[in-house]
Amino acid sequence: MRNCILVGNLGQDPEVRYTPAGAAVTTISVATTEAWNDKDGNKQERTEWHRVVFFRRLAEIAGEYLKKGSQVYIEGQLRTNKWQDKSGNDRYTTEIIANELQMLGGRPGSGGSMGGGGNMPSAPKAKNPSNNNNNSNDNGPNYDDFDDEIPF
Amino acid sequence: MRNCILVGNLGQDPEVRYTPAGAAVTTISVATTEAWNDKDGNKQERTEWHRVVFFRRLAEIAGEYLKKGSQVYIEGQLRTNKWQDKSGNDRYTTEIIANELQMLGGRPGSGGSMGGGGNMPSAPKAKNPSNNNNNSNDNGPNYDDFDDEIPF
Amino acid sequence: MRNCILVGNLGQDPEVRYTPAGAAVTTISVATTEAWNDKDGNKQERTEWHRVVFFRRLAEIAGEYLKKGSQVYIEGQLRTNKWQDKSGNDRYTTEIIANELQMLGGRPGSGGSMGGGGNMPSAPKAKNPSNNNNNSNDNGPNYDDFDDEIPF
Amino acid sequence: MRNCILVGNLGQDPEVRYTPAGAAVTTISVATTEAWNDKDGNKQERTEWHRVVFFRRLAEIAGEYLKKGSQVYIEGQLRTNKWQDKSGNDRYTTEIIANELQMLGGRPGSGGSMGGGGNMPSAPKAKNPSNNNNNSNDNGPNYDDFDDEIPF
DNA sequence: TTTT
DNA sequence: TTTT
């Protein structure tokens, strides 16, 4: 279950680490802000910080293309890790394990704090918008050839 | 983007078909009901019907375990198919292409309208709630061994 | 942003408390279980526990109708609270502040561990599937009378 | 149930209409694009178009701040309207009735195709990120004063 | 710690 | 019809 969704901005550059086996693990901190009017009609606002973790290829992409301030859309699942502090007390950290990442906003680069700047891997030119079956009948769509057109 | 979520009940038994290549395609109709109080304080209710399509293995599971009345949780993506009716007019049908299915509710069967009856493949007894790293330090969780424990 | 969704079961009966002003605050613990096959083809499973908080009327409903084992659908937002333990160390607890609750599964009661048993306020039988405008034209739906039919 | 989420771009400027009672109804068309690699390793892409409807105040905001090309985050619910074409045939149109709108991307304007250009109503400066209870105990957060800080 |  |  892809149970959480975030739309927000990175508070810092991503942290990329690697497992002994060489797989990337990237952690980011994402702020989501919510505004509402309180009972006195005053504007209130609250910012929430979320720890988000990426693994493997998504970790590499996140490490390469995101930076402090980037606006992102993230889907993932909640996970609470249990660990122990120096005193041996149980501690818990809740994270979102990301399984989808979409970079938002227009071409931001052009002078970020990082070197390379840059944008998302440029989703390939979009062209075949047609899932038009264009079959002529009255029974609705068929799916005879879905193997060629569906991404799962 | 897994952009839609439904929690509802099947209006009929699933329809299972097969592509020439032998892949299953299952279609179900799911009712979601929403209740609210109108401005006069009267209870209002509205039922919405959704056409949901499954492919391949998920289609086989849906065809085997769901039946009329089943309560389901579905994640999927919207897709609008274009087709033509007998008169050659363009028609559109919007569906949810499911990528996740969870059967809800307790053991329903015990006398359904279908033969086999039955429930979901019995989610294996759930037992190891631990994603406890139990590493003792003050740096929060590590991920050295995530290959062994994470489902992607 | 209603950013998280849970479908799971309560690990214990709800805890209901009241603020000095008399508003209900209900906390539940919800288990979600995820199953997958690891690289050796063995079935793996993992259960995640989520702390969910309800306020006001939703808190009253949750306290009255949910119990240990109840299957629920919850929408809410993540919130991380900062507090301090006895030693004055900062501690963080992440919760889901619920803004929607739907009880899942058929009439469970009939022998639960609690006294009263009971189900959700019985979503009024769902019947009028029609948001059919039934206006005859070729321009698609109109909305002239939406005030009478839309729940916001 | 806020069951659908879209992140995409407007294909055209919004269409704003008004009910006889004076309430705004705004319709937009949103493209979402998905990319994947097919079985031959070729990049595939598919664009889906979604009809989104806003009512009342949200309709006014959408009409004022969105324009062709705007990137948006939308939450809403699916609704299928039934209507009849000139020949009296039943036709169906599926829409997303929006209940949340967030404009994405940085300062876009600076030369859009429309006159006014413009951005979102500038969410008020964000400042009080604290939902820190800072109560010193070992029982986790309390909620005594939630009336002052929670937006429902 | 971000952004609007 | 958009955008990447």
User: Residue D21 is encoded by which pair of tokens?
Assistant: 């009672």
Size of interface A-C (CB pairs under 8 A): 53
Running DSSP on this structure, what letter comes out for residue B136? B
Nearest CB to B83: which of A80, A97, A140?
Answer: A140
To the nearest whole angstrom, how far is the Cα of A48 from the nearest Cα of chain D? 7
Q: What is the pLDDT of residue B45?
A: 92
To the nearest whole angstrom, how far is the Cα of B62 from the nearest Cα of chain D? 21
Is B146 strand, coil or helix? Answer: helix
Nearest CA in chain A to D32: A129
* Contact yes or no for A54/A62 (Cβ under 8 A): yes
**DSSP E strands, chain D:** 4-10, 15-18, 24-37, 43-55, 71-84, 90-103
Does pLDDT of B51 surpass 60? yes
Per CB-CB distance under 8 Å, the chain D contacts of B80 are: 48-50, 94
Is C35 strand, coil or helix? Answer: strand
The 10s digit of each residue's pLDDT in D74-117 is: 999 999 999 998 889 899 999 999 999 999 975 444 333 333 33
Confidence class of residue A137 from pLDDT cuts 50, 70 and 90? low
Q: Which nucleotide is nearest to D122 (CA to C1')?
A: E4
The answer to whether B146 faces chain A, any CB pair under 8 Å, is yes
Among C39, C78, C95, C99, the strongest candidate for a mutation testing the A interface, having the largest count of A CBs within 10 A, is C78
Q: What is the pLDDT of residue C38?
A: 85
Does pLDDT of D27 surpass 60? yes
List the one residue out of A1, A9, A15 whose CA is nearest residue A54: A15
Q: Which nucleotide is nearest to A45 (CA to C1')?
A: E4
List the one residue out of D65, D58, D3 whose CA is nearest residue D26: D58
Q: What is the pLDDT of residue B39?
A: 84
C-alpha span between D58 and D52 (Å, rounded): 12
C-alpha span between A120 and A116 (Å, rounded): 12
Q: What is the pLDDT of residue B138?
A: 55
Task: Name the residue with tokens 């809403």.
Answer: D76
The 10s digit of each residue's pLDDT in A33-72 is: 988 888 888 989 999 999 999 999 999 999 999 999 999 9
Running DSSP on this structure, what letter comes out for residue D118? -
User: Kindly report the CA angle at D87 between D85 and D91, in degrees rounded to 5?
Assistant: 35
C-alpha span between B7 and A10 (Å, rounded): 32
* Contact yes or no for A36/D149 (Cβ under 8 A): no
Strand-pair partners of B102: B73
C-alpha span between C17 and C113 (Å, rounded): 21
Range 98-117, chain D: CB under 7 Å to any strand E atom: 106-107
The answer to whether B35 faces chain C, any CB pair under 8 Å, is yes
Q: Phi then psi for C144, rounded to 5 degrees?
A: -55, -35
Residue A16 (CA) to nucleotide E1 (C1'), in angstroms, measures 17
To the nearest whole angstrom, how far is the Cα of C62 from the nearest Cα of chain D? 16
Q: What is the pLDDT of residue D125?
A: 27
Please, which residues have CB within 8 angstroms of residue C22's CB and are 6 or more apart in sequence?
none
Torsion on CA atoms C55, C58, C63, C64, rounded to nearest 10: 150
User: Residue C121 is encoded by which pair of tokens?
Assistant: 């306020």
Running DSSP on this structure, what letter comes out for residue C137? S
Is B16 strand, coil or helix? Answer: strand
List the one residue out of B46, B69, B56 whose CA is nearest residue B97: B56
D70 touches strand F (CB under 7 A): no
C-alpha span between B77 and A66 (Å, rounded): 26
Cβ density class B112-137: b for 16+ within 10 Å, e for less: eeeeeebeeeeeeeeeeeebebeeee
Is A146 strand, coil or helix? Answer: helix
C-alpha distances (whole Å) from A130 to each of C102, D47, D114 are 37, 8, 29
The answer to whether A56 faces chain C, any CB pair under 8 Å, is no
Q: Which residue is nearest to nucleotide E4 (CA to C1')?
A: D123
User: Residue B3 is encoded by which pair of tokens?
Assistant: 């952009």
Confidence class of residue D66 from pLDDT cuts 50, 70 and 90? very high
Per CB-CB distance under 8 Å, the chain B contacts of A85 are: 137-138
Lowest mean pLDDT among B66-70, C51-55, C143-147: C143-147
Q: What is the pLDDT of residue C113?
A: 33
For chain C, the average pLDDT equals 79
Q: Which residue is nearest to nucleotide F3 (CA to C1')?
A: D9
Lowest mean pLDDT among A54-63, C35-44, C115-124, D60-69: C115-124
Who has greater pLDDT, B150 or A116? B150
Lowest mean pLDDT among A15-24, A30-39, B126-135, B141-150: B126-135
Q: What is the pLDDT of residue B106?
A: 61
Q: What is the pLDDT of residue A141?
A: 65
Q: What is the pLDDT of residue A87?
A: 87
Residue D8 (CA) to nucleotide F3 (C1'), in angstroms, measures 7
Q: Which ranges of A21-113 does DSSP label H, i.e. alpha helix?
A: 56-65
Size of interface A-D (CB pairs under 8 A): 84
Do B151 and C44 make contact, defined as CB atoms within 8 angstroms?
Answer: yes
Task: Name the residue with tokens 């992607």.
Answer: B152
Q: Phi then psi for C64, rounded to 5 degrees?
A: -85, -40
C-alpha span between B34 and B48 (Å, rounded): 8
Running DSSP on this structure, what letter comes out for residue A69? T
Torsion on CA atoms C50, C53, C59, C61, rounded to nearest 10: -20
Do C48 and A7 make contact, defined as CB atoms within 8 angstroms?
Answer: no
C-alpha span between A146 and A135 (Å, rounded): 14
Nearest CB to D48: which of B48, B50, B79?
Answer: B79
Do D77 and B7 make contact, defined as CB atoms within 8 angstroms?
Answer: no
Does pLDDT of A78 surpass 60? yes
Residue D144 (CA) to nucleotide E4 (C1'), in angstroms, measures 30
To the nearest whole angstrom, how far is the Cα of D111 from the nearest Cα of chain B? 30
Which of C134-142's residues contact partners 24+ apart within 8 Å by CB, and which partners? C134/D82, C134/D83, C134/D84, C135/D83, C135/D84, C136/D83, C136/D84, C136/D86, C136/D88, C137/D83, C137/D84, C137/D85, C137/D86, C138/D85, C138/D86, C140/D81, C140/D83, C140/D91, C140/D93, C141/D81, C141/D83, C141/D93, C141/D95
To the nearest whole angstrom, how far is the Cα of C21 from the nearest Cα of chain B? 26
Nearest CA in chain B to C71: B105
The residue-averaged pLDDT of A116-137 equals 37
Confidence class of residue C17 from pLDDT cuts 50, 70 and 90? very high
Please, which residues have CB within 8 angstroms of residue C41's CB and are 6 or more apart in sequence?
none
Confidence class of residue A110 from pLDDT cuts 50, 70 and 90? very low
C-alpha span between D33 and D7 (Å, rounded): 9
Who has greater pLDDT, D143 or B66? B66
Strand-pair partners of A37: A43
Task: For chain B, give percent helix, strand, coil, nearest 5.
Answer: 10, 45, 45
Is C72 strand, coil or helix? Answer: strand
**DSSP E strands, chain C:** 4-10, 15-18, 24-37, 43-55, 71-84, 90-103
Range 129-148, chain A: CB under 7 Å to any strand F atom: 129
Lowest mean pLDDT among B50-54, D52-56, D134-138: D134-138
> How far does CA B79 lie from the centroid of its chain?
15
Amino acid symbol at C100:
E
List the one residue out of B83, B109, B107, B22 whose CA is nearest residue B57: B22
